[in-house]
Amino acid sequence: MKLLLLFTLLATLLIAKEQKQTNSLIIHKPFDAALFAITQNYDYSIAAAGFSNNYKVHTQTSKSYSDPFSYLADISNAYGPRMTLVSCTAQMQKIRSKVLTLHEFSKAVALKKTPRNGYFVGGYTTDGKLLVLKLTANGDKLFSKKFGTQNYNKLHQLLLLQDGGVLAIASSFTTRNPKEPIFQTGLGDNDIFLTRLSKNGTILWSKKYGGASDDRGIDAAEADDGTLYLLSTRTDQEKKSIKVMRLSQHGDRLWSFTIPTDAKTYPFIKAHRIISLRDGSFVILLSQIDTTAKEQIRILKIDAQRHILLDRTIATKESARLVDLKAFRDGRLAAVGFIDSKKKSHDGVVMIFSAALDLLQQHSYGGESYDNFYALTILHNSKIAVVGEYTPADSQEHNMWLLLLRPDGTKE
């Protein structure tokens, strides 16, 4: 009897402890799952998008097959990644987790809030088609657009535009078929592939950019005048460069410039994010791998005429990368990503910067295994909501992870 009472008391304490930990929500799904995008709803709840693995249950039937290929076609797609939408309260209490029903297996990488309290979700299928969905506030599908070239395509980001539509920033792999037009076959190894859609899902235009090298569209921002600032990478043999291209509303190239790098000090460079600020300037997130194979963070501020206003390299003890960035109303910036740990692979990391791009705060979060942050949003009360993936100790499965932080990046 005493043993039973002791067990009950311990269970009660554990439940109470779990309830007090309202700053974090970990959602377990079968096999790997992760969240890549996040936004806040008009009722102050939080929505996030990513992928989880769902499975079809196949019942035994009396159907006979004349060849093994017909049988394999029937049982194919038994499992794989599915676009998943998660919502929770501002206190990180789960409301719902909804799998978006599509025929193809797919991953969501972008989530944008619409003026009518719904969502644009962007992603791609595992066989290389681009996807843009528009959903209601409850996650019900209003429309679904599948598009792309005949080659393999991958979506990197969605940009919500001033007219209520979206710009899909993607890359398209090249094939060399002289019987097909160059738009379908491509220019180089990969090409930048942009598609502009109206708020009703009409494709207004699709264009490719690049050359004989490997070119990939990473992110884009919109200026007050409606012009677009595209962040992209170019790889020519072992040399990688970062380009910013200014485009008209119709996708016509106005100018482009290459961000300067020291090839001797930083032989490799990666691009992650570009955002527009209230003063009309833009901030760009990069990472550079130095000669010691350590990844370092680089953050720049440019004006609308391609002048570099600020250029900072953030030195950390271990390799680190920031992949998403948002601005506070007072000009400070919050960014998230990952940082290497001596004890394990990754910790999620959040950094707070001043308007002058000086590092103010740095905080790492995670357990005893592999953890990552992929995106953040700044809430109405200036708190920070972060999403990514969390791996429990002694586990091989990545789980969906939402974390609520104070404006300085510390835990609640």
Q: How far apart are CA 146 and CA 135, in angstroms?
A: 15
Residue whose token pair is 């929500």: 25
Strand partners, 88: 46, 94
Phi, psi of 73 (to 5 degrees): -65, -35
Residue 374's nearest CA partner among 353, 398, 354, 396 is 398
Q: How far apart are CA 50 and CA 393, in angstroms?
A: 22
How buried is 104 (Cβ within 10 angstroms: 0-12 exposed, 13-18 middle, 19+ buried)?
middle
Residue 241's nearest CA partner among 262, 255, 220 is 262
Q: How far apart are CA 315 and CA 359, in angstroms?
A: 10
Dump pLDDT digits (tens) for 83-106. 999 999 999 999 999 988 787 778
Q: How far apart are CA 75 and CA 61, in angstroms?
A: 12
The conformational region for residue 77 under phi > 0 = left, psi -120 to 50 = alpha, else beta, is left
Contacts of 276 (CB under 8 A, 6+ apart): 221, 222, 223, 229, 282
Dump pLDDT digits (tens) for 31-74. 889 999 999 999 999 999 999 886 554 444 455 555 554 444 44
Q: How far apart are CA 359 and CA 20, in angstroms?
A: 31
Name the stretches of the chain with pLDDT < 70: 1-22, 54-79, 174-188, 342-344
The conformational region for residue 58 under phi > 0 = left, psi -120 to 50 = alpha, else beta, is beta
Going edge to edge, which strands form the sheet with 346-353?
Answer: 320-327, 333-340, 346-353, 359-365
Phi, psi of 46 (to 5 degrees): -120, 140
CB atoms within 10 A of CB 63: 8
Report CA Rg, the chain. Answer: 23
Q: How far apart are CA 251 and CA 412, in angstroms?
A: 44
Strand partners, 109: none
